[in-house]
Amino acid sequence: MKKYLLSLFLLVICISCSSSKNSEVFIENAEGRYLFNANEVLEVYFKDKELFVKWRNRDDIKPLKLNDSSFYMKALNEKIMFVNLPKMHIELAEKTEHKGVKYHFRKMIANEKTPNEYFEAKNYKKALETFLEIKKQDSLSPVIREYNINKIGYNYLEGNEIGKAIEVLKINTYLYPKSSNTYDSLGDAYLKAKDTTNAVENYTKALSINSENNSALRMLKKITKK
């Protein structure tokens, strides 16, 4: 009896181990990057035919395999389903918290990046193009909020990455050309770069939009006193 139970236990272990493996066809179709939101990615990869996910700088997230195309991802507290048609994408199984709402994460094409990734790659032209496309599709997306982009620019400034800060804050002026604050911020970046000509130009532009922009006025007076 003991031998039988031991054999049964070992069999269960073997089945559970083998069930975590995925087929070559599934691996080929599923592996890649999926757009979780406009500026965030779920990266699906495989090790020894087992599925892993990289998300929010966390590697080796290992979802629990439920069947050949569905997995439970504890980090999301969601059941993720890989769907082939019309094109490979990930869907979240419906549950009470989002009943009636369908979440669909498309698989990104080769070399496609998010705006932040384009920033890091210093490809500011593509970053702007991507932001404009996001704005076209969803003008209320938090990814393109003026405040959020401004914050990225100032983070670069604080890290003494002045060139990046200037390019990011330039993009904010393209997205929000009627905002006094975007030009004021760009003026700050140019001033830190010791480019007073462009700093003055942007502070002046900020004041032309909003004559009560005290920050721009104060900086202009400071520059002209030197």
Tens of pLDDT along 40-80? 999 999 999 999 999 998 989 999 999 999 999 999 999 99
Q: Cα–Cα distance between 143 and 134 in angstroms, integer?
A: 8
- Does pLDDT of 155 surpass 80? yes
pTM of the entire structure?
0.76
Predicted pLDDT of residue 131? 92
- Does pLDDT of 38 surpass 80? yes
Q: What are phi and psi of 123, to 5 degrees?
A: -100, 80
Contact 115, 168 (CB under 8 A): no
CA-closest candidate to residue 75, choices 91, 88, 90, 64: 64
Question: With b meaning 16 or more CB within 10 Å and e meaning fewer, what string describes 39-52?
Answer: bebbbbbbeeeebe
Q: N- to C-terminal Cα distance for the chain?
A: 94
Predicted pLDDT of residue 28? 96
Predicted pLDDT of residue 57? 86
- Does pLDDT of 1 surpass 60? no
Q: Please state the rounded mean pLDDT for residues 145-156.
A: 94
Considering the four listed CATH numbers 1.10.1040.10, 1.10.357.10, 1.25.40.10, 3.30.1540.10, the one that applies to the domain covering 115-225 is 1.25.40.10
**Start-end of CATH 1.25.40.10 domains in the chain:** 115-225
Q: Please state the rounded mean pLDDT for residues 25-33.
A: 96
Q: Spell out the residues 6+ positions from residue 94 whose beta carbon is closer than 8 angstroms to its own.
A: 100, 101, 102
CA-closest candidate to residue 153, choices 102, 204, 192: 192
Q: Please state the rounded mean pLDDT for residues 24-34.
A: 96
- Does pLDDT of 164 surpass 90? yes
Q: How much is the mean pLDDT over the chain?
A: 90
- Does pLDDT of 86 surpass 60? yes
Q: Please state the rounded mean pLDDT for residues 85-106.
A: 92
Contact 107, 36 (CB under 8 A): no
Neighbours of 127 (CB within 10 A): 23
Tokens of 15: 């089945």
Predicted pLDDT of residue 15? 45
